[in-house]
Structure 1
Amino acid sequence: MNADSFAHALLDPEQPCPSGLRAWNGSDPAQRFAVYRNNVLASLINALADTFPVVRQLVGDEFFNGMARLHVQATPPRSPLLAFYGEDFPAFIRAFPPASGLPYLADVARLELAQVHAYHAADLPALDTARLAAVLSDPECLPGMQLRLHPSVAVVCSDHAIASLWAAHQGLLDLAEVNPGQAECALVLRNGLEVEVSRIGTGTAAFIQALAAGNPLGAAVGTALAIDAGFDPGSTLARLLAGGAITRFTLHSGSQMP
């Protein structure tokens, strides 16, 4: 018996008990292995339920548990850290035929996964906002300035109302008033110890994504304005600063300001 065959049998109830197993008291190892198998499957399903609570609420416990069980069997953990288990779950949902009637479900899962990543992102020292404000007051510095975003920052865009659906399941909106077919973008960031999720416009989303890709401020603003002529860089920067989303800036001369 090798580790691969044991793991395969552990996640597939149709597989027989691996040969070579012995119970210390002489009891039937198949019965003991079945109990172990059920415990492992249940723990992995519960791990997915902890990561994707809104997905679970949207489909109900029975549907979620059945879908999660199939995912567990198809994609076992690759790491002992179960907090990160579920990286492939959004893609699995998107390709899962019984979930095709809920086209927003996979993107809601992407949003929830981004929350988990934000919660576990590295800590960085707070930005000296007074020094940044002084630099921002000099128009000549702005176009070439690069802003480094906090590792927790993520933007999730969808053809569906993922931010509103998420908010409704936190009691922040009335679910009956949410139009799932409305395209939305969501900003995820960890502000202190709290992971925040907020709805943002397409211009703001493009701006943040451009900054995350290393584009200087002027280019990022241009990208945003090309998508949304009403984009306001001032209010967006203020929002990012208030949320602790900017950790460092670099001037065009190459000097870094922590």
Structure 2
Amino acid sequence: MNHQAAFARALLDPAQACPDGLATWNGSDPAQRFAIYRNNVTVSLIDALAATFPAVQQLVGEDFFRAMARLFVQAQPPRSKVMAWYGAGFADFIEGFAPAASVPYLADVARLEMARVRAYHAADVAPIAATDLHAALADPEQLAQLRLQLHPSLQLVASRFAVVSLWQAHLGLLPIAQVDPTLPQAALVFRQGLEVEVSLLSTAACVFISALQQGATLLAAAGVDPRLDLPAILALLIRQQLITHIQT
């Protein structure tokens, strides 16, 4: 193992000794200085997770969150220089973290918060002109093969729990006592300007949008769930300027 790899492994594993070959400019103990540096790195990564997942931290408390985040940092150190993406695997980690099993909706709240990060940093794409879209929808010959391309910021989070209401309670938009966590909900996450929006979505609408994102035609996506209110969901996508291109 080379020196860089040994340094990196020891940096996030407190059980490992200080790597060989380190020296300090003032003659102080390298092992002591490395321990301080290792702690600072870990604390910084935990702080980054706390900034990305404030609702998760609020739901379990700061002490529990930071202990859980410390284990995540040790298990999954950053793989990218872009710290905005750090924590992409946090929800899956929470799902397998036995001490968090008493809060079964915690992983999905983390997924919602990560979806907000992805939406915020997504590319800017102009919406399609309303006249072009209405013309395509009104053409029976095109309608059967029509595909809608949606805005890159659009994210979906479907949950067995009341993920939207739990997140809204974190913001103080409704009392947590009024939230039934066992109520299944789906979230539509997207960016408007510099603001990320989170909206409650029906299960049928979530399935429809997911099918569009996977390349299904408009009619095929609309036929997946018979409960879908197609005019309503199309009106929502048009109103929020989430349709960027049409293809046939």
Residues 1:109 and 2:110 are matched in the alignment? yes
Equivalent in the alignment of 1:243: 240
Post-superposition offset of 1:15: 1.8
Residue 255 of structure 1 is matched in structure 2 by none
* Structure 1 residue identity aligned to 2:242: A
Partner of 1:88: 89
* Secondary structure, aligned partner of 2:189: strand
* Aligned counterparts, 1:39-58, within 5 A: 39-58=40-59
Partner of 2:175: 174
Offset from partner CA, 1:6-64 (integer Å, 9 cap, x none):
11111122222111110111111112111111110011001111111110110111000
Q: Which residue of 1 aligns with 2:217?
A: 216
Equivalent position SS for 1:122: coil
Distance 1:79 1:162 in 2: 28
Q: Deviations over 1:111-133 (max 9, x none)?
A: 11111111111111221112212
Note the residue ranges of structure 1 that are not aligned, 5 or more in a row. Answer: 252-258
In the alignment, the residues of structure 1 paired with residue 194 and residue 27 of structure 2 have an alpha-carbon distance, to the nearest angstrom, of 51
Name the SS for the 2:223 alignment partner: helix
Is the Cα–Cα contact under 8 Å of residues 128 and 243 in structure 2 kept in the other structure? yes
2:27 alignment partner in structure 1:
26
Query: Using the alignment, how far apart are the partners of 1:220 and 1:62 within structure 2?
Result: 45
- Structure 2-normalised TM-score? 0.96
Q: Structure 2 matches for 1:176-195, cutoff 5 A?
A: 176-195=177-196
The amino acid across from 1:160 in the alignment is F
In structure 1, how many angstroms separate the alpha carbons of the residues matched to 2:98 and 2:213?
A: 34
Residue number in structure 2 paired with 1:130: 131
Report the count of equivalent residues.
247
Query: Aligned equivalents of 2:241 and 2:4: distance in 1?
Result: 45
Counterpart for residue 119 of structure 1: 120
Report what 1:164 is aligned to: 165
Question: Percent of aligned pairs with the same residue?
Answer: 55
Query: What residue in structure 2 maps to residue 8 of structure 1?
Result: 9
Query: 1:140 offset after TM fit, Å?
Result: 4.2
